[in-house]
Chain A
Amino acid sequence: MSGYEMLSSFGSSHVMTGNQLSAALDDLLQKFTVVAPVMADNKLVYDEVKDVSDIVLDDGLPYKSPKEIVFPRAEDVMRFLENRVEEAQVIKPVLLVGAKPCDVAAMNVLDEVFTGEQGRFKDSFYNNRREFLTIVGMNCREKKAGCFCEERGLNPAFSVDCDGFLTLQHDGAVYKPLTEKGIDLFSGTAAALSNPVSPGTEPASHGAEPASHGAESLVLNTTEGEVFNAMPWEKYAEGCIGCGTCTFICPTCHCFNLRDSEKNGIVTRTRVWDSCMYPKFTLHAGGHNPRTKKYERFRQRVLHKYLYIPENYGCIACTGCGRCIRSCPGGLNIRNTVADIRSRLETKGEVPV
């Protein structure tokens, strides 16, 4: 049963005024660490909310993705004791409010990789955090330069892949619960779900599948053998300075390292982000390196998202959020790269660069 088929089996949508929503979130601050879009250093980011009035719901896609909630950039995961290790994670229940549909989709990709059946091993550290996370999505009303979620088959107005979804309306929002967690969320708060939408006023986006759903135009229907050597990867990677920003800003990138450090005689192992854009990422201790060139590393990033993860997990690890495009100092553009590969595949490589 797809998410859209399940829609009808959960509670009906409810209308909240702006004041009711604020009061409800204020109540939820007692129960959760609330993460929502807030302004920090003149940038909109998903960050921990101290005061409900700081939440900025009526704006575009935050600068950074919310992946740090489930996959922090540095996280102590274990400590070494005399004859055993103990887990060192500190986990609190988190409520993410205002996640845009692309960021909700990214969480699905991370779920597949870290905890999905196809992954064979369950990543306990990710799973621990994910189980304590409730996600309330929200419609995205501003397409930024570089955004291409619709080409990726996403609907910026709605997502079923979260616990509940808020659709902003004039003076308030319509909340649609999508899971048990989402139904329970507001019970006992100032905005207990007591005000169902009147017939005929449910936002159209909540019902039917969007036209783009299942009709993703930006996919690679190809094989490793067909694209690995045949595409002008050096051309695509021109301008790359190897900074790794694209991987850190990406909502689905999840490469990591484990590092030990010692403090007061206690050794802690920390999981830290790593990046396939760095030459040391694949450097053997003995000096051999299977991926020495920048274009080889950019190829790895593109194909990992558009070919390898789809093969292993059945989903593309790029949501079209455009963050890597907006952040790249060298002007690299994964959307245009994939589009170029597609046109070359269609015309059997006849497209001039």
Chain B
Amino acid sequence: MSLQNPYLPSRAVIMEVIQETKSETQDVKTFRLKLDEPFDYRPGQFVEFSVAGIGECTFGFASSPLIKDHMELTVKRTGYVTENIHMLSEGSTVWIRGPFGNSFPLEKMEGSDLFYVTGGLGLAPLRPMIDYVFDPAYRDRYGKIKMLMAARTPGDFIFSYDFEKWAQMPDTEFYQTIDSPAEGWNQFVGFPHTLIEKIPFDLEKTTAVLCGPPPMIKALSNAFVQYGLPPERIYTTLEMRMTCGVGKCGKCNIGHRYVCIDGPVFSMAELGEMPSEY
């Protein structure tokens, strides 16, 4: 992105394509990119990702900002642009502009226990924060960590190659759940909002960070609030259709907020004051 013109992307080359989901559809891949003009970003921010001649889509960063030599974006094949992205391979040229949006308030969360709950692809925009907090340079700024990762089936988890590493981190509890029972599955079954009462956490010290499909976020945040967690300590990152990323094109407008510049990260206290149009 040029400083003068936020619409102009710069070139990136695909270094590696990682097949994430193992279920029948195999519909999620992670693209590791080398940027011509690398930039710094904060966990929670996003980029506009283009394939020339096809179009542009919005993706949250999926890799830690502490990694400096590449950047990862995780893409579900679900529409015209993403189908075309999925056909790309190592060496392909793509286009990136960003970073856009606010970020998770990591300084404000210092001293908190953290409870991450994600559904499906919703893990991707949280991964920069997860890896940032686990980094030895920052880990002691945060308390205990709980992670509840949800997916439809065992084959639909993304970043499953990271799970063992995360589960073994000190002061960390790692849980997985799937929508309905599956052969050989010995972890949780059921939607995340039905499970949080089975995972004890300190109401006084915990900040919850959620990401997943909009219906899941709504059910889950309601469950946390009913459980007694104040909305000010529940954060999510919203998904909205976007074009510009800079608060002009009108698509991601909710009330007087624009998800692209006022978000995508909001606390439930902030969302509670906005029309429920997400």
Contact = CB atoms under 8 A, between A and B. Distances in A.
Same complex origin of A and B? yes
Interface of A: 77-78, 80, 83-85, 87, 113-114, 119-121, 123-125, 224-225, 228, 254-262, 267, 274, 276, 281-288, 290-291, 296, 300, 303-304, 307-309, 311-312
Given A262-B53, A282-B241, A255 B261 contact: no
Given A124-B5, A311-B256, A258 B36 contact: no
Contacts of B244: 256, 258
A94 B8 CA distance: 25
Interface string B248-259: 111101111000
A121 B4 CA distance: 10
A85 B8 contact: yes
A224 B275 CA distance: 7
Given A121-B246, A290-B240, A259 B55 contact: yes
Interface string B100-139: 0000000000000000000000000000000000000000
B95 interface: yes
B250 A274 contact: yes
B274 interface: yes
Contact of A80 (B36, B52, B76, B277): B52
Nearest to A265: B53
Contact of B247 (A119, A125, A285): A119
B275 A83 contact: no
B57 to A, nearest CB: 7
Contacts of B249: 255-257, 274
Contacts of B81: 285
Contacts of A224: 255-256, 273-275
A84 B256 contact: no
Tell me which of A114, A256, A276, A283 has the highest count of chain B C-beta atoms within 10 A of its own C-beta. Answer: A256
B78 A285 contact: yes
Residue among A77, A119, A225, A260 with max Cβ neighbours from chain B (10 Å): A260
Contacts of B275: 224, 228
B6 interface: yes
Nearest to B76: A286
Interface in B1-19: 4-11
A83 B13 CA distance: 10
B184 interface: no
Contacts of B246: 120-121, 123
A258 B248 contact: no
Top 5 nearest A-B pairs (CB, nearest first) are A255-B250, A285-B79, A121-B246, A124-B5, A311-B256
B72 interface: no
Contacts of B76: 286
A285 B56 CA distance: 12
A286 B213 contact: yes
B248 A113 contact: yes
A287 to B, nearest CB: 8
Which secondary structure characterizes the binding site on chain A? mixed
7 contacts: A119-B248, A121-B247, A123-B248, A225-B273, A261-B53, A267-B53, A290-B240
A120 B5 contact: no
B248 A84 contact: no
A303 B250 CA distance: 13
A252 to B, nearest CB: 11
A284 B239 contact: yes
B153 interface: no
Interface of B: 4-11, 36, 50, 52-57, 76, 78-79, 81-82, 93, 95, 213-215, 239-241, 243-244, 246-251, 253-256, 261, 273-275, 277-278
B256 A290 contact: no
B214 A282 contact: no
A120 B247 contact: yes
B253 A300 contact: yes
Contact of B8 (A87, A286, A290, A300): A87
Nearest to A290: B277
Contact of B95 (A85, A228, A307): A85
Nearest to B55: A260
Nearest to A121: B246
Contacts of A254: 248, 250
Contacts of B273: 224-225
A120 B83 CA distance: 33
A260 B240 contact: no
Contacts of A114: 248
B248 A276 contact: no
A254 B213 CA distance: 29
A117 to B, nearest CB: 13
A47 to B, nearest CB: 26
Given A84-B10, A87-B8, A308 B255 contact: yes
Contacts of B277: 282, 290-291, 296, 300
Given A84-B10, A258-B244, 14 more contacts: A80-B53, A225-B273, A254-B248, A255-B249, A255-B251, A258-B56, A281-B251, A283-B241, A285-B79, A285-B81, A286-B213, A286-B239, A307-B256, A311-B256
